[in-house]
Amino acid sequence: MRSPPVEWLARAGLVARGLIYAIIGVLAIEVAAGVGGRTTNPQGALHTIAREPLGKTLLAAVTAGLGGFAIWRVGRAVTGRGPETAVGWKERVSDLVAGCGYGALCATGVAILIGSRGSSGSPDAATGGVLGWPGGQLLVGLTGLVVIGVGLAQGYLGVTRRFLEESKTDEMSEDGRRAFTAIGVFGHLARMVVFALIGWFVIKAAIEFDPDKAVALDGALAKVAHAPYGPALLGLVAAGLIGFGAFSLVESRYRRV
């Protein structure tokens, strides 16, 4: 059964996701080019939006989109279907995790709007707390492996082009389908790189029992910038993140929700 309000929530969320990834990518491109900018994460992207002219209005729209995206993903996880598709148990688990993550990001947007700085989502603080638990070192290490697994899954989607199965490509022109496929492959591979880096540094934090080794997306991009041939590598990854942002914007029109 079609549900236009739920469809609207999902598509608004894809637009919000696209804007966030585009902002992260553009700021990283500036770092790579040596013209300013900074590496940031989704929370930082929301703060960046708030500082722009009419930023609070735009941030309110993006926050609403993130909330809608979270509701759609969690709802699909609970019911096993959306207005246009049915999903299996693996997709339901993925939806639940993603829905919680986007819900937390929505909460950060709300906090910024009401005058709070919002959660920084500091990975070293969170990791440090878990490391102190009985078995915490193992738990942190397993978390890193899961994050790497998420990255590999993104790479798999990109290489096999399985992401196309979730979109109504039959409604696109031939040139549009080719462009959509290209930016989708590029964007998913870029996400694979950053998730794999984040996971690796979480594992490193567990092995060395040092929470300062853990990084989030901004830290992973900073590590790329300081690697051999860092500016070129960072520019490539940043372009991929911008590509994923563009992919999300187009997907907001064609995604099977």
pLDDT at 132 > cutoff 80: no
pLDDT tier for residue 65 given thresholds of 50, 70 and 90 = very high
pLDDT, one tens digit per residue, over 146-159 is: 999 999 999 999 99
Task: Print the domain residue range for 84.
Answer: 1-121
pLDDT tens digits, one per residue of 46-61: 999 999 989 999 999 9
Judge whether 193 lies within some domain: no
199-217: pLDDT as tens digits: 999 999 999 988 888 888 9
pTM of the entire predicted model? 0.90
Question: Per the domain annotation, does 70 fall within a domain?
Answer: yes
Sequence-distant contacts of 222-228: CB under 8 A, at least 24 apart: 222/39, 223/197, 224/193, 224/197, 225/28, 225/31, 225/32, 225/39
Instruction: Let me know: does 58 contact 49? Beta carbons within 8 Å.
Output: yes
Q: Flag whether 148 is in a domain.
A: no
Angle CA 213–194–154, to nearest 5: 135
Task: Tell me if 52 is assigned to some domain.
Answer: yes
Residue at 77 is within a domain: yes
Distance CA 122, CA 212 (A): 10
The span from the CA of 154 to the CA of 192, in Å, is: 5
Instruction: Answer yes or no: are the C-beta atoms of 205 and 211 closer than 8 Å.
Output: yes
pLDDT digits (tens, 9 = 90+) for 155-201: 999 999 999 999 999 999 999 999 999 999 999 999 999 999 999 99
d(CA 67, CA 61): 10
Within a domain: 32? yes
Mean pLDDT, rounded, for 136-153: 94
Q: Note whether residue 38 is domain-resident.
A: yes
Residue 1 has pLDDT above 60, yes or no: no
Q: Is residue 169 part of a domain?
A: no
The count of structural domains within the chain is 1
Query: In angstroms, rounded to a whole number, what is the distance separating the alpha carbons of residues 220 and 191?
Result: 11
